[in-house]
Amino acid sequence: MTLINAKNIWKVYDNEGTKTEALQGVSIDIKKGEFVAIMGPSGSGKSTLLHILGLLDNHTNGTYHFSGKDIGTYNQEEIAKIRNEKVGFVFQAFNLLPHETVLENVKLPLIYSKKPESEWNKLAEDAIISVGLGHRMNHQAVQLSGGEKQRVAIARALVNSPEVIFADEPTGNLDSKSGQAVI
């Protein structure tokens, strides 16, 4: 089953009349269960494409179908629901709340889920343990190394058991052994 079908995707940024083409006619099909890496030099549009596919940004032209439905037919509320229930993100900059604990950071996506609050701690703890950080669960994010922050971001992406995870350089701050374990 095709999960993502994007055809001829363009993204043009308009900054006070100056147009910058970040993506020019990108097409990609991703089936459920596939592991896909998007590679290219810095500035080639990889992060822009991830943000569009992950429903964080809109494309300028082209068509994008997620789970068989044209994204253009969704309203903002439906897009937010899909992002929360079906998509996990691992951002290059982590986007952790620095003075919250690892546990609280990982629980954040659950706030908007339909999962009962009584299950949140268990779900978050399981995700944290899965990335090897059970011993840091009650530490604040500001107290963690770069690699540990990366693993917290990965646990947060996993906590809702999404259909797809978009990761922008998910192993960039990890040593090779930790990177292999995360993959």
pTM over 0.75: yes
Residues 6 or more apart whose Cβ sits within 8 Å of residue 179: 171
pLDDT, one tens digit per residue, over 27-83 is 999 999 899 999 889 889 999 999 999 999 999 999 999 999 999 999 999 998 888
Print burial letters for 48-58: b (CB count within 10 Å at least 16), e (below 16).
bbbbbbbbbee
Task: Please provide the average confidence, as pLDDT, over all residues in the chain.
Answer: 90
Is residue 91 within 8 A of residue 149, CB to CB? The reply is: no
pLDDT, one tens digit per residue, over 132-160 is 999 999 999 999 988 899 899 999 999 99
Measured CA to CA, the distance from residue 167 to residue 170 in angstroms comes to 5
Measured CA to CA, the distance from residue 149 to residue 106 in angstroms comes to 11
